[in-house]
Amino acid sequence: MPAWPGGACPDCGDHMPANLITCQTCRALLNSELKVTFVDIPEFIPLQEVTIDEKKK
């Protein structure tokens, strides 16, 4: 994954030094490839056995 090269934040325009993941001013993601990775994370589905055990307590 490529590091942020440094420069103006695409969201708020504040200058951010290199190698940041998120903007220190507005917390916008500076690494576009990282954003794609977040989207690919599957939805969390609880295991059925775990749900049944919780009801017994």
Residue 45, amino acid: I
Total residues contacting Zn ion by CB under 5 A comes to 7
Give residues 1-57 in contact with Zn ion (rule: CB under 5 A): 9, 11-12, 23, 25-26, 28
Q: How far is the CB of 19 from Zn ion (least distance, A)?
A: 15
Residue (12 or 18) nearer to Zn ion, CB: 12
CA separation, residue 20 to residues 1, 3, 11 (Å)? 12, 7, 14
Half-sphere exposure of 49 toward its Cβ, with a 13 Å CA cutoff? 0
Binding site for Zn ion (CB under 5 A): 9, 11-12, 23, 25-26, 28
